Amino acid sequence: MKKFILALVAIVTFQIAKAQMPGAAPNQAPPSIGRIYGKLIDSTGKSIEGASIVVLQNKYDSATKKRKDVLLKGTISAANGDFNIEALPIMGPLKLTVSATGFEAYTQTVTFQPKMPAGAAQQKPANGQMPDMSAMASAFEKDLGKLSLVKSVKELSEVVVTATKGRLKMDIDKKVFSVDQNIVSAGGTAVDIMKNVPSVNVDIDGNVTMRNASPQIYIDGRPTTLSLDQIPADAIESVEIITNPSAKYDASGGNAGILNIVLKKNKKNGYNGNVNVGIDKRGAINGGASLNLRQNKFNLSLSGFGNQMKNRNTSSTDITSLLTTPNVLVNQTGSTIMNGGFLFGRAGVDYFATNRLTLSLSAVRVHGEFSPDAVLKTDSSYNNASYISFSNRTTATKREFNATGIQGGFKYLFPKEGEELTADFNIFNGRNSNNLNYNTGIYTYEGGAKTGEVLQQILGSGTNNFVTIQADYVKPFSKAGKIETGARVQLRTMTNNQSNYMFNNSTNEYVLVPNATSNYKNKDNVYAAYISVGNQHNNFGYKVGLRAESSDYTGELTDTKQSFSNKYPLSLFPSLFLSQKLSDKQELQFSVTRRVNRPFFMQVIPFIDSTDQLNWTRGNAALKPEFTNSAEVSYSKTFKGGNTVLVSAYYKYTTNLITRFLDTVTLASGEKRPISTYQNAQSSQSYGVEFTSQNVLTKWWDLNSNLNIYNSKINTDNITGTSQAAMWSWFAKVNNNFKLPADFKIQLSGTYQSKTNLPVNQNSGMGGPPMGGAQSAAQGYIKANWGIDAAISKSFLKNKAATVTFNVNDIFRTRKMDQYSASSFYIQNSYRLNDVPMFRINFAYKFGQMDMSLFKRKNMKAESEGSQGAMQGMQ
């Protein structure tokens, strides 16, 4: 009997007790399946909201050879005073600490004591089966009941403090904006998210800029070729705004910084997930679901989202051609109907091999199909009123893309606190295909006799593959000091095949036009290493770094076998960050960095691409890399009640700025045609002041606001002999959040962009003679525009599991693209407006929580089946 009892106790405490059972792995850590919950009240029985509850555990620190309290978990009490903390270790005593403004601190020791069910020691196995141990589950849940806090004698009268989760977190080298509660973007894409992120401006085509330049887009800390409209908003947890990247980050990408999109990835014990579905005013459906499972050493996350697109947009362009006398006047009006959508899926697994080693693997899959139909009407006449012609071009397009990404890596924590080694890889493969059919009818005038017809077909396909391998090591050398070093390799391969066919009426078939066909392939490799040292002395902190990069590329026009190559020598990119903490929660920061933007393949090949007859382009083999030096000084202050303000002044200076430039090409017939190419401007500079704040105005109203006032200028004296005058501009963004009774929420957001220079390094812009080409930032400006978005949501069911959201974007149809461009050859005014206002309604439901008894039973079954031999051997 004694042996039987000992065996029974061994099985029950399997994976719980640190003592080893026969067959168990040595030093196996006890599972974190403990749960503590209760309710906070004051002396009158009134619930206490917003109190901070943390759980500490006393552990031995191998580095200091001393024991110390380590933070395990933390939470904030709900409006009714309830709190719940899960996934706690069940061995050894824990310390629960409660703190709330106006109350004395409260501390209580909590111990989980697994017990055998009553009478279990006297029970005998029936039919060889173990007795039911599910009753043990309750031993790992501690109901602390109502905890009464004592009011502090130092309490100030008439002071109301409300705990609010900050949406904006400010760090020494970045700002982190939490978007998981952003209801304005529900059912949309990352483009809608960016419209409400401070410091970020989004134009009508979904292109984003920071301080009037295009940033690099990262996903989970690594570069991606996915565009923002291919990432669903509901998959995003936060956005990191890095205006002045340190030496740790890739030096490539020009002068606009980095936008890092952090995807949602839950790591709670047990199971949980959510589903959502929505529809917009055009009947386009969006929906998705995510599921997270964690048990013992594994964490599995799955998510999938889909978005239909049925957008409409209109455009208008007026062009004055200065190439002829008299000048030619062209008026174009266009409309586009978009039909299509995309699917986004993600799967990830983490394996907690030991307390110090974590292995991770994840995959992303994106598939999209689009079929936009467009109509472009063109009226042409001389400015002496004599008419030339009228044309009506219809475009039927089919586009498809598929992208697959795989990420993997490990993180190892050394015994010394803060010392860690990480390594990861990122493999991305993208494929696209397109089929365009142009049908252009030419008439004497609109409604007049048809004088001709031009039929054109473009068949294209391409691939975009890259591999990134990176390793980073962090070594503390003092309490606050550390050295960071790492190396990175990025290997990228691109192919493009695009064939242009014109219809031949005599043969009644499409005929390939060789000189209007663009087929190429290229490889682009970047090699980098960095080291940075940071430390904190009292209130002064610093971080100094140096990055070394070299790169090379090779390319080939596959039809003509012309090849191009270039190898950029090793360049150094230093960075310096300083911070000084002042009194009253104030901090002063200063940073200086250097970055580079290298020309990509299509910018350097001297090939005239006349695929689009209305927009010819040509590369420039003489392009040089551009280098940008940036300086920024910031002041931040945190006020009472969760109010924070950040003021930044910045300056950027770029040499050899790569910019689009409108030129002409003379054909064999002597005719001059406009052509869009690239040039190195002599330099560019921008400077400004940016204000960012997070304010909790009342317990039901908080807002984030951003204001950027800047001056920008591009020096093109080396190209044209003159430069466009410098321009002062400003950009503002405000995001209001209101918490109403009955679990209603309202979000009201607005943006304003004043007249500003065209963004630099914007490779996919719009408007350009005679239609569709991006204009140089040195040859035009964008007129002022503004817009307002709003949303309302209602949460219901137990634990607010269900939420219905209604949102509308650009309520007053004012967020338009109104652009002016001018050169020695053309003067152009263009106007575009998307399908606004856009209405969406979404339903979301979250489910699941840690069900300890379910997982305990599951474990008990596996343990009992696997331990029968051990029990019998001990009898």
pLDDT in tens, 313-339: 999 999 898 888 899 999 999 999 999
Q: What's residue 159's pLDDT?
A: 33
Q: What is the DSSP letter of 342?
A: E
Average pLDDT over residues 135-155: 70
Domain 29-160 in CATH 3.20.20.370:
no
pTM for this model (two decimals): 0.70
Q: What percent of the chain has pLDDT over 90?
A: 35
Q: What are the pLDDT digits (tens) for 371-406?
A: 999 999 999 999 887 888 899 999 999 999 999 999
- Which residues have C-beta within 8 Å of that of residue 713, sequence separation ≥ 6? 684, 685, 686, 723, 724, 725, 726, 727, 757
Q: What is the 3-state secondary structure (H, E, C) of 180-194?
A: CCCHHHCCCEHHHHH
- Superfamily name with CATH number, domain 270-354+398-836: TonB-dependent receptor, beta-barrel domain (2.40.170.20)
Distance CA 643, CA 759 (A): 33
Report which DSSP code applies to 815: -
Lowest model confidence (mean pLDDT) among 160-169, 170-179, 863-872 = 863-872
**Could you tell me the residue ranges of all domains in the chain?**
29-160, 168-263, 270-354+398-836
In the prediction, which pLDDT does 794 show? 92
pLDDT surpasses 50 at 480: yes
Burial 103-130 (b: 16+ CB within 10 A, else e): beebeeeeebebebeeebeeeeeeeeeb
Residue 459: pLDDT band by 50, 70, 90 thresholds?
very high
Higher-pLDDT residue of 256 and 843 is 843
**What whole-number distance in Å separates Cα of residue 595 and Cα of residue 573?**
6
- pLDDT tens-digit map of 256-275: 788 888 877 655 556 778 89
Give the pLDDT confidence score for residue 170 in this predicted structure: 63
pLDDT single digits (tens) 511-521 = 998 877 778 89
On average, the pLDDT of the chain sits at 80
| pLDDT category of residue 255 using cuts at 50, 70 and 90 | low
pLDDT average, residue stretch 613-638: 86
Peptide bond into 769 cis (omega under 30): no
Q: Do the strands 34-41 and 141-148 form a parallel or antiparallel pair, or are they unpaired?
A: parallel
Q: How confident is the model at residue 284 (pLDDT cuts 50, 70, 90)?
A: very high
Region of poorest pLDDT, from 225-239, 300-314, 777-791:
225-239
Q: How far apart are the C-alpha atoms of 657 and 135, rounded to whole Å?
A: 71
**Two tokens, residue 446:** 């609109």
Q: Which of 787, 789, 712, 768 is nearest to 210 (CA)?
A: 712
Q: Which helix (H) or strand (E) holds 20?
A: none
Q: Say which residues have a Cβ less than 8 Å from residue 583's Cβ, sequence separation at least 6.
A: none
What digits encode the pLDDT tens for the residues 2-26? 443 334 333 333 333 333 333 334 4
Of the candidates 763, 761, 767, 764, the one whose C-alpha atom is nearest the C-alpha of residue 781 is: 767
CB atoms within 10 A of CB 454: 14
pLDDT of residue 118: 44
Q: Mean of the pLDDT values across residues 435-455?
A: 93
Q: Which residue has the higher pLDDT, 752 or 67?
A: 752
pLDDT at position 861 is 31
Q: Which of 98, 109, 70, 88 is nearest to 31 (CA)?
A: 88
User: Rounded CA gap, 555 and 495, in Å?
Assistant: 9
CATH topology of domain 168-263: Ferric Hydroxamate Uptake Protein; Chain A, domain 1 (2.170.130)
* Topology match between the domains 29-160 and 168-263: no
Q: Which of 29-43, 147-161, 784-798 is predicted least confidently?
A: 147-161
- pLDDT > 70? residue 764: no
Which of 570-574, 760-764, 815-819, 847-851 is the least confident region?
A: 760-764
Specify whether the CB–CB gap between 657 and 628 falls below 8 A.
Answer: no
